[in-house]
Amino acid sequence: MNISASFILYLATFIMGGCGLAYEYTLSRVAADLLGNSARQWALVIGAMMFCMGIGADLQKRLNDQLLLDKFIGAEILLGVLGGCGPLALLFTYGMAPNYYIIVQYAFISSIGLLLGFELPLIARLNSAYTNQLKVNLGKVLKMDYVGALTGALIWVFLLPRFFTLIETAFVLGLLNLAAATILLLYFSAKVTLNVRLWITLLCTSLLLITGLFQARNWTSTAEQYLYRDRIILSQTTRFQHIVLTKSRAAEISCYINGSLQFNSADEYIYHENLIHPAFSLASHKHRVLILGGGDGLAAREVLKYPTVKELVLCDLDPEMTDLARNHPTLIKLNRGSLSDARISILKNNALVPQNQDETIRIPNQHRRFGSRPEEVARVTLVNLDAASLLEKLAGKFDVIIVDFPDPNNEELAKLYSRTFYRRLADRLTIDGIFVQQATSPYHAKEAFLCIGRSMAAADLNVIPYHDNVPSFGEWGWWIGGHRERWSAKSLKEKLRQTNTLAVPTHYLTPELIHASLEFGKKQLETSESEINTLVNHKIFTYYLEGWQTGY
């Protein structure tokens, strides 16, 4: 009897250890998705929850031994409800009452943390009736909790995202907590005083969480709609990010990643034409082109207007983003099918090779042809890989490199704006090649914008800035340049100012606008800062936050 009772308690400990860590991850991910600055949100949420767990572990000593098992099972039921419903409640709060979001968020974090803190001491107290030695009791309880935590982390990272959204994951975790409570109720039914009440509560909360699991996507869509002015036509959470497409009454399409606007169809051509065509005006050769980022295919659309492009390699980390660009009718219409016939490739032996034949898509497209012969079409290769890793492994050099990353609004993205990254980029650039980088706003985030230029210069690249107004974003900037041996700031400016015509049709950009984009206002590029961004200091992230929080 004693061994069986201990086993049941250890099993409950294992389940609760896995759920506890998974709750921390889930609440951290929700906070990061809604508030941005992912590393800071994860640190704050997990730190706050650990603190509350400590408070809960201390408070449990005030519970007397009377009805101790009933109290423990009741706490597990409450934990399952709070953990299961919390993320959805936070999403609704952020959309409907954003001023109260932080209060509600930390109310859930505190409550869940306190309940998690109750767990181990209470289980140890319950198990003391079956294990006399304190060191054995604590050792086994802690072991099962830590093993459960590792199991929970692995399942949360590798298994649950394959089948469930983040909100659904929370309901699954809540149901697992209720399963642990059910096991305890079944096994210790003779020792539970409030048996009927607990069973009724357990059944009601189970129905609530099961309903939530099946309705999660509908409820999530309703909650998310409060966050966006226009109607949501797609909401999708991937391994790497949360993607939302909206459509206005004027049929304008907007794309958001983790809540940040990526483009609006009403003016995206201003951004993308500025990103591509000045670089192509400078480049002596345009045969081999690399795009880093740009998984929506809009930059590729502009590149593929040039008949001299023989090969385009596009690298975007998220395969689900590029799948949308290749298959979603709305994005196909915007990017003119720029990725629709792309070969899906992987890296092997430092060279690009296609994946399985059924994943290799080659559809002749008149938009791709260069030269006079129909069979000569630009080869488009799509690689889903971290850009820094690609630059290390990719064979050959490129005439033009387009860097179209999201803004450096977290530490993970900050590394893609580092001196080390630009040195790797320079290794992939032909001696007379040109690269261009979107570089956030020189008005709202001036120091971040200038830090990008300094970091490029520290990698032995000569660069110059230019800017334009994109209505959806405001004042926006780019850096363009090449190897120091071939290009100087003066030669870059002179050649751009000598641009008299564009080789391909554009919707917005003209040579005169390119000339004007090189001019900045008085003191707009002056600064007392001198630091560059590296892999370890994440200085650009600091500049970026300071800029967008305080303005110019």
Would you say residue 251 has pLDDT above 80? Answer: yes
**Residue 214, SS3?**
helix
Would you say residue 516 has pLDDT above 80? Answer: yes
CATH number, domain with residue 290? 3.40.50.150
Which residue has better confidence, 2 or 233?
233
pLDDT tens by residue, 287-318: 999 999 999 999 999 999 999 999 999 999 99
Residue 469 near residue 255 (C-beta atoms within 8 A)? no
> Which amino acid would we find at residue 324?
L
Give the chain's domain count.
3
Closest C-alpha to 293, from 280, 275, 306, 308? 275
Q: Looking at the structure, do residues 278 and 321 belong to the same domain, yes or no? A: yes
β-sheet bridge partners, residue 237: 242
Strands across the sheet with 231-237, in order?
Answer: 231-237, 242-247, 253-257, 260-264
Q: Is the dihedral of CA 515, 516, 521, 525 positive or negative?
A: negative
Distance, in Å, from the CA atom of 258 to the CA atom of 311, rounded to the nearest integer, reads 31
Which pLDDT score, from 0 to 100, does residue 431 have? Answer: 96
For residues 36-46, average pLDDT: 83
pLDDT tens by residue, 350-407: 455 444 433 333 333 334 443 444 445 688 999 999 999 899 888 889 999 999 999 9
pLDDT tens by residue, 417-459: 999 999 999 999 999 999 999 999 999 999 999 999 999 999 9
Residue 343 near residue 365 (C-beta atoms within 8 A)? no
Whole-model pTM: value is 0.83
Which pLDDT score, from 0 to 100, does residue 501 have? Answer: 93
Q: Looking at the structure, do residues 203 and 298 belong to the same domain, yes or no? A: no
Which pLDDT score, from 0 to 100, does residue 112 have? Answer: 95
For residues 273-294, average pLDDT: 96
State both tokens at 85: 């419903």
For residues 202-208, average pLDDT: 97
Q: Looking at the structure, do residues 536 and 397 belong to the same domain, yes or no? A: yes
Closest C-alpha to 144, from 13, 241, 257? 13
For residues 274-292, average pLDDT: 96
Q: What domain range includes position 165?
A: 2-225
Indicate the pairing of strand 311-315 with strand 288-293: parallel
Q: Looking at the structure, do residues 391 and 430 belong to the same domain, yes or no? A: yes
Which pLDDT score, from 0 to 100, does residue 551 have? Answer: 44
Please indicate whether residue 316 is annotated as part of the active site: no
Q: Looking at the structure, do residues 214 and 71 belong to the same domain, yes or no? A: yes
For residues 468-480, average pLDDT: 96
For residues 500-512, average pLDDT: 95
> Which amino acid would we find at residue 525?
L
Which alpha helices (H) appear in 287-418, and where do they start and end? 298-303, 319-327, 329-335, 387-393, 411-414
Q: Looking at the structure, do residues 345 and 445 belong to the same domain, yes or no? A: yes
The pLDDT confidence band at residue 343, using thresholds 50, 70 and 90, is: low
CATH number, domain with residue 102? 1.20.1250.20
Average model confidence (pLDDT) across the chain: 89
Q: Looking at the structure, do residues 236 and 291 belong to the same domain, yes or no? A: no
> What is the H or E stretch that residue 443 is in?
none
Which pLDDT score, from 0 to 100, does residue 346 have? Answer: 52
Closest C-alpha to 481, from 535, 530, 518, 440? 518
The pLDDT confidence band at residue 191, using thresholds 50, 70 and 90, is: confident
Distance, in Å, from the CA atom of 240 to the CA atom of 316, rounded to the nearest integer, reads 11
Distance, in Å, from the CA atom of 287 to the CA atom of 505, rounded to the nearest integer, reads 19
Which pLDDT score, from 0 to 100, does residue 248 have? Answer: 95
Q: What is the DSSP letter of 369?
A: B
Which pLDDT score, from 0 to 100, does residue 543 have? Answer: 94
> Which amino acid would we find at residue 450?
L
**Among 225, 252, 276, residue at a domain's last position:** 225
DSSP secondary structure, 159-210, as one string: IHHHH--HHHHHHHHHHHHHHHHHHHHHHTGGG-TTHHHHHHHHHHHHHHHH
Residue 289 region, left (φ>0) first, then alpha (ψ -120 to 50), else beta? beta
Q: Looking at the structure, do residues 310 and 238 belong to the same domain, yes or no? A: no
Q: Looking at the structure, do residues 404 and 420 belong to the same domain, yes or no? A: yes
401-429 burial: b if 16+ Cβ within 10 Å, else e = bbbbbbbbbbeebbbbbbbbbbbbbbebb
Which pLDDT score, from 0 to 100, does residue 550 have? Answer: 56
For residues 231-257, average pLDDT: 92
Q: Looking at the structure, do residues 158 and 248 belong to the same domain, yes or no? A: no
The pLDDT confidence band at residue 344, using thresholds 50, 70 and 90, is: low
Catalytic residue, chosen from 323, 404, 407, 468, is 404
Q: Looking at the structure, do residues 333 and 241 belong to the same domain, yes or no? A: no
Q: Looking at the structure, do residues 272 and 408 belong to the same domain, yes or no? A: yes
**Among 225, 248, 280, residue at a domain's last position:** 225
**Among 244, 262, 280, residue at a domain's last position:** 262
State both tokens at 152: 């929970």
